[in-house]
Chain A
Amino acid sequence: MSDLAAAVPARMSRQSPTTESRFTRGVLIGVAIFFLGLFLLFPLLVVFVEALRGGIGAYFAALKEPDTVSAIRLTLLVAAIAVPANLLFGLAASWAIAKYEFRGKALLITLIDLPFSVSPVISGLIYVILFGAQGYFGAWLQSYGIQIVFAVPGIVLATIFVTFPFVARELIPLMQEQGTQDEEAAISLGAGGFQTFWRVTLPNVKWGLMYGVLLCNARAMGEFGAVSVVSGHIRGQTNTMPLHIEILYNDYQWAAAFAVASLLALLALVTLIIKTILEWRFGEELASAGRQGDIR
């Protein structure tokens, strides 16, 4: 038998019929790495290098600048309002959609997705049209001395709009997949509505919820276009971090602009890392559409 094995001629085509040749594989991997490297990794690297170009001291000095500090504070404030608001909405909408059958459900899901297909600039514009000086409610608001556009409330509204679908979009398919049996069982055992939600539904969707909140937060802190339209760009007052980057950049304070940008880039990296960990560890407990959930 060993003789026979030795007599076996050299194999000509050992390649599996369902993959490409080594050469093709190498070329394709090379192309993919090059493309992703050039378009994704390289810009990320540039942000940090440019930020630290003037040295660590200059970097932290730029971050301690009062206008920068106030931009950071405003960004955190806006996210602290927008994210919980959308979280609440996401929970309510997904509960209603997943646990009951009613007419117009498909339309409702489509409408929830709507903000994703609207240009960020338009997301800001709609609030200017409503609440701006020449907007529908502009004069009325002015008579009460309330300012929404070109002030913090406008920034919050625009941010809520652009991050509107994130939590709902993650939770709806997840809750639909899980059906209503758990809840029905809990209620048959005597649990109340809120108890059922808190003890049965929420633990079932907690990782999906975190996933949605994570993406919602990243977008809320990083939104530029929509916020730019409603902000008014008043330094130290209505500038979020992304807007502050623009101002610094246009003032040729490049190092400072990149310093602020590096903070947001760090946020993006942390978001990606947590997201990846969630996908690896709890992939099963995220929505089956989770992969596509963050598309748009």
Chain B
Amino acid sequence: MNALARYRVETDRIEADVAAVTPRVSGRLRGDPMNVTVQDLVKTFGETAALYGVSLDIRGGELIALLGPSGSGKTTLLRLIAGLDFPTSGRILFGDEDASTKSVKDRNVGFVFQHYALFRHMTVFDNIAFGLRVRPRSQRPSEAIIRERVLTLLDLVQLPGLDRRYPSQLSGGQRQRVALARALAIEPRVLLLDEPFGALDAKVRKELRRWLREIHDHTGHTTVFVTHDQEEALELADRVVVMNQGCIEQVGSADDIYDRPATPFVFDFIGDSSALPVEVRSGQVYLDGRPIGIDAGGEPEGPATLFFRPGHVQFVNDDSGGIAGIVSGSRRVGDIRRVELEAGLVRHRFEIDVPADSQAPKAGRIAVKPTAWRLFPKDE
């Protein structure tokens, strides 16, 4: 934390220095919280579409995760925000300013690449200093200021004393930190990270995750990162954007996403869940023609899918009031025991959790009733 505190002090000082040289960037060293607005972005690669009209408001200073399976368009969206690709249609606003017309080099975004993309022929120092040194002369800080800034950043990313190393002499986690320091050096308006921990092993991932959160909280940049790891997204981000097949499925906090999934995809993709094909008839939910004791609420009549988490069930005594199933197996998962059941004539499989120490039903017929659930009407 010492390094972080020092970073703030140093940053304030350097900010004043740099402000003297270049009024343009003043106040931006610590990430002037910048709203980013994405409006109706469409991106097609040839025939195939990668994004279908995506809109998103990212609040200044927010740490946001783009979460989705591969091919969901999350990296495409990140690259469009950065200006590495151009949308087929739609707009991207940085604050009130339309960034769509700007090239990547003028957008002033910090981008951390999945494989770091460090310049192999440059030392760590030169890598971090690169963004400052390529500025037009009128906006370029002096070498002394650059030096001070680079060393401060190295402290921030906890790599003091490694400035003369080459990237090939660093571990994966260290390279990741250098990549982040390099991106921060240009005083970005927005920080974008593409699968920032994808190439690291599990332990380093967890450490860096916590550390990235700390850095974000102290520097206050608007930060967007892409991940396919839901644990990472839910733990780290203020808000999570769940994407699927080029569309946004849901935007919300970890609680929203987990407890109130907006779409079947989200319910299925986040955490464990069981899905049963049911039918809504006069306000009641039927499975294979038998009511299962769930009130359909306002859901429309007709076929629907019932989602519930394995833990959100209670046993019921009589078949009429729940989902009756035949136990087909059970396994131990962490602190609980997960029991697999087959229900109805066509043997729909679903799972429930029971305490690990409970006498797990090994066979036979049991009936359960979800305590929390979501009904999604079938589209067709």
Q: Can you offer 23 A-B residue contacts whose CB atoms are under 8 A?
A: A1-B53, A4-B40, A4-B90, A4-B91, A5-B40, A5-B42, A5-B89, A5-B90, A8-B90, A8-B91, A9-B98, A9-B100, A9-B101, A11-B86, A11-B100, A11-B101, A12-B103, A13-B101, A13-B102, A13-B103, A14-B86, A16-B85, A17-B83
Within 8 A of A (CB), among B79-100: 83-86, 89-91, 98, 100
Report if A17-B40 is in contact (Cβ < 8 Å); known contacts: A4-B90, A5-B90, A8-B90: no
Minimum CB–CB distance from A22 to chain B (whole Å) comes to: 15
Q: Which residue of B lies closest to A14 (CB)?
A: B86
Q: Which residue of B lies closest to A1 (CB)?
A: B40
Minimum CB–CB distance from B183 to chain A (whole Å) comes to: 15
A15 in contact (CB, < 8 A): yes
Number of A-B contacts (CB under 8 A): 35
Query: How many angstroms between the C-alpha atoms of A1 and B85 in the bound complex?
Result: 21
**Interface residues as binary, A1-35 with B (CB distance below 8 Å gives 1, 0 otherwise):** 10011001101111111000000000000000000
Give 10 new A-B contacts, CB below 8 A, not counting A8-B89, A9-B101, A17-B83: A4-B90, A4-B91, A8-B90, A8-B91, A9-B98, A12-B101, A12-B103, A13-B102, A15-B103, A17-B105
A-side contacts of B104, CB under 8 Å: 17
- Interface band, chain A: 10 to 19
Query: How many angstroms between the C-alpha atoms of A4 and B98 in the bound complex?
Result: 13
Query: How many angstroms between the C-alpha atoms of A11 and B84 in the bound complex?
Result: 14
Within 8 A of B (CB), among A220-274: none
A-side contacts of B103, CB under 8 Å: 12-13, 15, 17
Minimum CB–CB distance from B197 to chain A (whole Å) comes to: 25
- Give the secondary structure class of B's interface: mixed
B-side interface residues toward A, CB under 8 Å? 39-40, 42, 53, 83-86, 89-91, 98, 100-105
B-side contacts of A4, CB under 8 Å: 39-40, 89-91
A-side contacts of B105, CB under 8 Å: 17
A-side contacts of B98, CB under 8 Å: 9
A-side interface residues toward B, CB under 8 Å? 1, 4-5, 8-9, 11-17
B-side contacts of A15, CB under 8 Å: 103
Q: Return the 6 tightest CB-CB contacts between A and B, nearest first.
A: A13-B103, A5-B89, A12-B101, A17-B104, A14-B86, A1-B40
Query: How many angstroms between the C-alpha atoms of A5 and B90 in the bound complex?
Result: 6
Q: Which residue of A lies closest to B39 (CB)?
A: A4
Minimum CB–CB distance from B87 to chain A (whole Å) comes to: 9
Q: Which residue of B lies closest to A12 (CB)?
A: B101
B-side contacts of A17, CB under 8 Å: 83-84, 103-105
Are A8 and B83 in contact, with the CB atoms below 8 A? no
Q: Which residue of B lies closest to A18 (CB)?
A: B84
Minimum CB–CB distance from B93 to chain A (whole Å) comes to: 12
Minimum CB–CB distance from A3 to chain B (whole Å) comes to: 10
Query: How many angstroms between the C-alpha atoms of A14 and B83 in the bound complex?
Result: 9
Q: Which residue of A lies closest to B42 (CB)?
A: A5
Minimum CB–CB distance from B98 to chain A (whole Å) comes to: 7
B-side contacts of A5, CB under 8 Å: 40, 42, 89-90
Q: Which residue of B lies closest to A17 (CB)?
A: B104
A-side contacts of B42, CB under 8 Å: 5
Q: Which residue of A lies closest to B101 (CB)?
A: A12
Q: Which residue of A lies closest to B104 (CB)?
A: A17
Query: How many angstroms between the C-alpha atoms of A1 and B86 in the bound complex?
Result: 18
Minimum CB–CB distance from A242 to chain B (whole Å) comes to: 44
Query: How many angstroms between the C-alpha atoms of A4 and B84 in the bound complex?
Result: 22
B-side contacts of A14, CB under 8 Å: 86
Query: How many angstroms between the C-alpha atoms of A5 and B44 in the bound complex?
Result: 14
A-side contacts of B100, CB under 8 Å: 8-9, 11
Minimum CB–CB distance from B103 to chain A (whole Å) comes to: 4
In this complex, the member of B39, B84, B101, B102 whose beta carbon has the largest number of chain A beta carbons within 10 angstroms is B101
B-side contacts of A11, CB under 8 Å: 86, 100-101
Query: How many angstroms between the C-alpha atoms of A16 and B89 in the bound complex?
Result: 16
Query: How many angstroms between the C-alpha atoms of A11 and B103 in the bound complex?
Result: 10
Minimum CB–CB distance from A4 to chain B (whole Å) comes to: 5
Q: Which residue of B lies closest to A15 (CB)?
A: B103
Query: How many angstroms between the C-alpha atoms of A17 and B86 in the bound complex?
Result: 10
Minimum CB–CB distance from A192 to chain B (whole Å) comes to: 47
Minimum CB–CB distance from B334 to chain A (whole Å) comes to: 41
Query: How many angstroms between the C-alpha atoms of A72 and B105 in the bound complex?
Result: 63
Query: How many angstroms between the C-alpha atoms of A221 and B53 in the bound complex?
Result: 64
A-side contacts of B102, CB under 8 Å: 12-13
